[in-house]
């Protein structure tokens, strides 16, 4: 059943699709099942504004019909009844106002089906239960999920024939049947090579652009051959042309090469992605016309059909792009992101610091005065103050997302933070940070995740043996809270009650948390240091208390390994993502997810919250990064350009930029507001596992499997960009190859891969990794 659930949660993004493929909406209804909790924990913050937006009536009709048809097809009469009852519809009756959208501007996609999100989830569970009860073929679950999957990523416009088929009988065979029309298998090679010849003879300026067509064409032609049981022709075709493809598709080609039978296509996720999501290409109008004319002249219908059905060609007016420009952006599983995908407005500004800060500032300043170093601090404070007072046009409104109210302890922590911030070292190319390296000894290759608390007092490690270990790196030892019986004996009125509740006898430098039943791949401290999250191969995310050192909650939802989890910088919310390709947003006090973000075509490998908590970024092994809006679950940015699975993400402290690192050893820099790639940092020779900006954003540190920590001049990387007149409209960037200038330092460790980096509040860089002798 796991697959069913995961499959159904797909398809929240892509709001700019003109006509929805029918089952997109179906897959969608689970995504909004838990609306964002409308009150903040422990306070009465205003509810998130829910503007009801009616989905277009024809779409609703279509979607509902599709669902009903699907259920009937599968003899789930019970479910049909239920659905009809829940939706309050007679057979063909519709309620045009029934759609409830959980956010503004979701268009037709999000929440277009059901009148009530809560009902939707209950409906879903019933559907899944009854489908299993109906004793379908045991593979039913996966098939169903696959078919849902099909549409989630399908970012193209209407697919003739394909979507119709999906409505009637959403089954893999139908999806695949798009391949059934076939020509003579022997001619495939001829077609392909004639196109190749053509493209090789066109003008230089068009050649690079048109060459983009090769890879998707190659894949689809190969799959068509395989689907139609022309195994030998397929093999010959593959052998002949696989060498021509760009090297960054090597991984996919490897998967493809192992697939030679029609039966294999069933259940292979990578393939379904190829087939069902349209491969997106960006081609200038001139080049496109050239290609079109050629194909029409030659009556090359085979290729033309593939282009029409499986490719989405994003045509732009203007100069054709150069090879390097194309290479910078391509490499993802499903081509580049469409330009429209990155057009939505993103409020990347920081939230205003809570007002509680102001009196504290004065106190702080007084304290500073006592210490006798007010000079350094004042100008900085002013600039910061003025910034936060002026409403940043790019910042989201304070109540866009309900955030937890600050507790007294949080305020104390803020004061500490401000104090530390005044002692912060100003970093720069001439003033590099010191790096303190924490080596895990005797870890026997078992260290899988590390995190530091924001104040750098605790360090936690996740291990392959399912344990989570927490160390205190300050002289203050870790203590548990006393047992309930002992707590009763405490004088609750005393001033040091917080001290008294701790059990001195349990003081130790490290504690081990047992609970997971598989390797722990992701780990994250809550900002207030009271909790620790860990995600594991066993499919759960666990919340641990750092007061009692026990497990508080096991969040179940991902049924497959959860690769990463990250706490929101404001606490309370967290995100998790894993093998099931869905990122989930949770609140610590809800055992079900609040949001499900689906759209990635492969595993989600890393997750990261934006500093303002309104957005989160996910990196995936489909080699894209997506930015999601927490409020409405929309995908607001898709960044392509990496050539390998992404393993590290970092937001700049001002929230404007995102850095990402992948197995290809490159760090890419992205401008979130414009949705553009703005830099490429080459130097690492192996997977980058950690990225971090210094506290003021001047330095970007990257740690990699190649046993190095590298420091990059982030200021310069982003400054250059502002002087550069990049064309935000077209999104065509000219990347300078200035990695060497930006590289400020390379520090080699002694056979210790660097898997985590952290800047302390005073800008000391902490790094961590396991020593592998």
Which of 7, 27, 103, 519 binds another protein (CB under 8 A)? It is 519
Reported as type and span, the H/E element at residue 226 is helix 214-227
Alpha-carbon distance 62 to 507, whole Å?
A: 63
Residue 446 CB, nearest distance to another protein (Å)? 8
Query: If binding is defined by CB under 8 A, does position 254 make contact with another protein?
Result: yes
Chain length of the chain: 773
Nearer to another protein (CB atom), residue 322 or residue 506? 506
Nearer to another protein (CB atom), residue 461 or residue 571? 461
- Please give the residues from 685 up to 704 whose contact with another protein meets the rule CB under 8 A: 687, 689
Residue 473 CB, nearest distance to another protein (Å)? 7
Query: If binding is defined by CB under 8 A, does position 358 make contact with another protein?
Result: no
- Please give the residues from 579 up to 638 whose contact with another protein meets the rule CB under 8 A: 579, 603, 605, 621
Pull the structure tokens for residue 416.
């500490």
Query: If binding is defined by CB under 8 A, does position 489 make contact with another protein?
Result: no
Residue 444 CB, nearest distance to another protein (Å)? 7
- Please give the residues from 124 up to 183 whose contact with another protein meets the rule CB under 8 A: none
Nearer to another protein (CB atom), residue 676 or residue 755? 755
- Please give the residues from 264 up to 283 whose contact with another protein meets the rule CB under 8 A: 264, 268
Hey, is 767 helix, strand or coil? strand
Nearer to another protein (CB atom), residue 65 or residue 436? 436
Packed helices 204-211 and 285-297: angle between N→C axes, nearest 10 degrees: 80
Alpha-carbon distance 544 to 534, whole Å?
A: 8
Nearer to another protein (CB atom), residue 287 or residue 535? 535
- Please give the residues from 540 up to 579 whose contact with another protein meets the rule CB under 8 A: 560-561, 563, 579
Alpha-carbon distance 35 to 402, whole Å?
A: 12
Nearer to another protein (CB atom), residue 5 or residue 79? 5
Nearer to another protein (CB atom), residue 254 or residue 378? 254
Between 632 and 671, how does the x/- string for binding to another protein read (CB under 8 A)?
-------------x-x---------------x--------
C-alpha Rg value of the chain to the nearest Å: 27
Nearer to another protein (CB atom), residue 313 or residue 648? 648
- Please give the residues from 384 up to 423 whose contact with another protein meets the rule CB under 8 A: none
DSSP 287-351: HHHHHHHHHHHTT-HHHHHHHHHHEEEEEE-SSPPPHHHHHHH--STTBSPPGGGG-S----SPP
Alpha-carbon separation of residue 67 from 5, 74, 114, 127, 172 (angstroms)? 16, 11, 12, 11, 16
- b/e per residue 119-128 (b: at least 16 CB within 10 A): bbbebbebbb
Query: If binding is defined by CB under 8 A, does position 459 make contact with another protein?
Result: yes
Alpha-carbon distance 80 to 71, whole Å?
A: 6
Half-sphere exposure of 30 (CA within 13 A, CB side): 28
Nearer to another protein (CB atom), residue 384 or residue 436? 436
Which of 49, 181, 296, 431 binds another protein (CB under 8 A)? It is 431
Residue 702 CB, nearest distance to another protein (Å)? 14
Query: If binding is defined by CB under 8 A, does position 433 make contact with another protein?
Result: yes
Pairing mode of beta strands 279-284, 311-316: parallel
User: Could you tell me which stretch among 108-116, 127-135, 258-266, 318-326 binds another protein (CB under 8 A)?
Assistant: 258-266
Alpha-carbon distance 646 to 648, whole Å?
A: 6
User: Could you tell me which stretch among 186-194, 312-320, 384-392, 516-524 binds another protein (CB under 8 A)?
Assistant: 516-524
User: Could you tell me which stretch among 78-86, 592-600, 653-661, 763-771 binds another protein (CB under 8 A)?
Assistant: 763-771
- Please give the residues from 181 up to 240 whose contact with another protein meets the rule CB under 8 A: 234-235, 238-239
Residue 642: CB atoms within 10 Å: 27
User: Could you tell me which stretch among 63-71, 338-346, 379-387, 765-773 binds another protein (CB under 8 A)?
Assistant: 765-773
Alpha-carbon distance 278 to 124, whole Å?
A: 28
Which of 125, 260, 457, 738 binds another protein (CB under 8 A)? It is 260
Pull the structure tokens for residue 372.
């006798």
Residue 752 CB, nearest distance to another protein (Å)? 9
Residue 737 CB, nearest distance to another protein (Å)? 23
Residue 622 CB, nearest distance to another protein (Å)? 13
User: Could you tell me which stretch among 194-202, 365-373, 466-474, 735-743 binds another protein (CB under 8 A)?
Assistant: 466-474
Q: Which residues contact 701 (CB under 8 A, 6 or more apart)?
A: 433, 690, 691, 692, 693, 694, 709, 710, 711, 712, 757, 759, 765, 767
∠ CA 446-559-756, nearest 5°, is 35
Which of 187, 438, 502, 529 binds another protein (CB under 8 A)? It is 438
Residue 670 CB, nearest distance to another protein (Å)? 22
Largest Cα–Cα separation, the chain: 91
Query: If binding is defined by CB under 8 A, does position 294 make contact with another protein?
Result: no
- Please give the residues from 705 up to 744 whose contact with another protein meets the rule CB under 8 A: 705, 709, 711, 744
User: Could you tell me which stretch among 83-91, 430-438, 648-656, 732-740 binds another protein (CB under 8 A)?
Assistant: 430-438
Which of 506, 510, 545, 738 binds another protein (CB under 8 A)? It is 510
Nearer to another protein (CB atom), residue 34 or residue 461? 461
155 Cα distance to chain centroid:
17
Pull the structure tokens for residue 278.
């349209």
Which of 749, 760, 761, 763 binds another protein (CB under 8 A)? It is 749
Q: Which residues contact 355 (CB under 8 A, 6 or more apart)?
A: none
Alpha-carbon distance 612 to 626, whole Å?
A: 17
Nearer to another protein (CB atom), residue 381 or residue 516? 516
Nearer to another protein (CB atom), residue 283 or residue 767? 767
Alpha-carbon separation of residue 573 from 14, 89, 106, 593 (angstroms)? 24, 36, 22, 10
How many residues belong to the site for another protein (CB under 8 A)? 74
User: Could you tell me which stretch among 206-214, 251-259, 591-599, 609-617 binds another protein (CB under 8 A)?
Assistant: 251-259
Residue 577 CB, nearest distance to another protein (Å)? 12
Alpha-carbon separation of residue 149 from 94, 138, 256, 272 (angstroms)? 26, 18, 19, 8
Alpha-carbon distance 671 to 655, whole Å?
A: 10
Query: If binding is defined by CB under 8 A, does position 22 make contact with another protein?
Result: no
Alpha-carbon distance 63 to 86, whole Å?
A: 15
- What single DSSP character describes residue 244? G
Nearer to another protein (CB atom), residue 259 or residue 334? 259
- b/e per residue 484-500 (b: at least 16 CB within 10 A): eeeeeeeeeeeeeeeeb
For residue 651, list its beta bridge partners.
Answer: 658
Between 56 and 75, how does the x/- string for binding to another protein read (CB under 8 A)?
--------------------
Alpha-carbon distance 42 to 20, whole Å?
A: 40
Which of 67, 71, 213, 447 binds another protein (CB under 8 A)? It is 447
Residue 766 CB, nearest distance to another protein (Å)? 9
Which of 130, 136, 211, 242 binds another protein (CB under 8 A)? It is 242
Which of 198, 248, 437, 726 binds another protein (CB under 8 A)? It is 437
User: Could you tell me which stretch among 26-34, 144-152, 444-452, 719-727 binds another protein (CB under 8 A)?
Assistant: 444-452
């Amino acid at each position: 059943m796991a697959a069913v659930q995961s499959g159904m949660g797909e398809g929240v993004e892509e709001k700019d699709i003109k006509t929805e493929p029918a089952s997109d909406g179906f897959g969608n209804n689970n995504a909004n099942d838990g609306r964002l909790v409308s009150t903040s924990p422990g306070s009465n913050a205003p509810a998130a504004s829910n503007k009801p937006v009616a989905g277009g009536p024809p779409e609703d009709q279509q979607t509902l019909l599709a669902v009903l048809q699907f259920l009937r097809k599968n003899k789930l009469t019970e479910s049909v009844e239920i659905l009809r009852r829940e939706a309050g519809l007679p057979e063909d009756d519709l309620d045009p106002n029934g759609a409830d959208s959980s956010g503004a501007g979701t268009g037709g996609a999000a929440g277009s089906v059901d009148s009530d999100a809560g009902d939707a989830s209950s409906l879903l569970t019933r559907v899944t239960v009854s489908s299993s009860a109906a004793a379908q073929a045991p593979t039913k679950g996966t098939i169903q999920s696959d078919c849902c999957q099909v549409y989630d990523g399908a970012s193209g416009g209407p697919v003739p024939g394909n979507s119709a088929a999906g409505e009637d009988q959403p089954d893999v065979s139908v999806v695949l049947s798009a391949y059934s029309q076939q020509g003579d298998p022997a001619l495939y090679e001829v077609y392909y090579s004639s196109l190749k010849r053509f493209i090789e003879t066109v003008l230089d300026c068009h050649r690079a652009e048109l060459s983009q067509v090769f890879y998707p064409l190659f894949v689809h032609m190969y799959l068509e051959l395989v689907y139609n049981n022309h195994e030998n022709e397929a093999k010959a075709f593959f052998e002949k042309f696989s060498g021509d493809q760009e090297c960054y598709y090597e991984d996919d080609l490897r998967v493809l090469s192992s697939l030679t039978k029609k039966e294999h296509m069933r259940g292979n996720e990578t393939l379904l992605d190829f087939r069902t999501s349209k491969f997106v290409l960006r081609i200038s109008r001139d080049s496109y016309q050239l290609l079109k004319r050629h194909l029409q002249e030659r009556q090359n219908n085979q290729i033309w059909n593939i282009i029409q059905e499986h490719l989405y060609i994003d045509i732009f007016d203007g100069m054709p792009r150069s090879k390097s420009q194309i290479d910078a952006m391509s490499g993802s599983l499903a081509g580049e992101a469409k330009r429209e995908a990155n057009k939505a407005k993103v409020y990347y500004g920081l939230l205003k610091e809570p007002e509680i800060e102001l009196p504290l500032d004065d106190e702080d300043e007084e304290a500073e005065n006592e210490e006798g170093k007010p000079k350094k601090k004042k100008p900085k404070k002013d600039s910061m103050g003025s910034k936060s007072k002026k409403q940043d046009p790019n910042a989201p409104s304070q109540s866009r997302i309900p955030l937890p109210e600050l507790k007294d302890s949080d305020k104390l922590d803020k004061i500490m933070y401000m104090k530390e911030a005044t002692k912060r070292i100003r970093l720069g190319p001439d003033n590099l940070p010191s790096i303190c390296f924490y080596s895990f000894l005797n870890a026997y290759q078992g260290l899988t995740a590390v995190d530091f608390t924001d104040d750098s007092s605790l360090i936690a490690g996740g291990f392959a043996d399912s344990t989570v270990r927490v160390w205190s790196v300050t002289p203050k030892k870790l203590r548990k809270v006393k047992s309930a019986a002992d707590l009763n004996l405490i004088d609750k009125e005393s001033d040091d009650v917080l001290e008294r509740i701790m059990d001195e006898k349990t003081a130790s430098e490290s504690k081990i948390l047992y609970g997971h039943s598989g390797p722990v791949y992701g780990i994250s401290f809550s900002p207030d240091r009271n909790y620790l999250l860990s995600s594991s191969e066993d499919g759960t995310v666990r919340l641990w208390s750092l007061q009692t050192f026990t497990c508080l909650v096991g969040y179940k939802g991902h049924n497959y390994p959860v690769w990463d989890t990250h706490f929101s910088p404001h606490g309370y919310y967290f995100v998790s993502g894993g093998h099931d390709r869905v990122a989930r947003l949770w609140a610590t006090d809800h055992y079900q997810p609040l949001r499900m973000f689906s759209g990635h075509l492969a595993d989600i490998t890393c997750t990261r919250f934006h500093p303002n908590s309104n957005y989160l970024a996910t990196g995936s092994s489909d080699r894209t990064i997506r930015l999601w809006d927490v409020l409405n679950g929309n995908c607001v940015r898709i960044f392509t350009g990496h050539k390998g699975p992404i393993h590290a993400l970092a937001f700049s402290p001002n929230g404007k930029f995102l850095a990402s690192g992948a197995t290809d050893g490159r760090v890419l820099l992205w401008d979130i507001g414009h949705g553009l790639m703005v830099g490429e940092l080459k130097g690492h020779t192996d997977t980058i596992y950690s990225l971090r900006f210094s506290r003021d954003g001047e330095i970007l540190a990257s740690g990699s499997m190649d046993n190095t920590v590298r420091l990059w001049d982030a200021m310069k990387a982003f400054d250059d960009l502002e002087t550069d007149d990049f064309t935000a409209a077209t999104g065509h960037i000219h990347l300078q190859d200035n990695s060497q200038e930006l590289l400020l330092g390379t520090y080699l460790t002694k056979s210790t891969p660097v898997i985590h980096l952290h800047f302390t509040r005073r800008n000391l860089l902490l790094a961590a990794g396991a020593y592998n002798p």
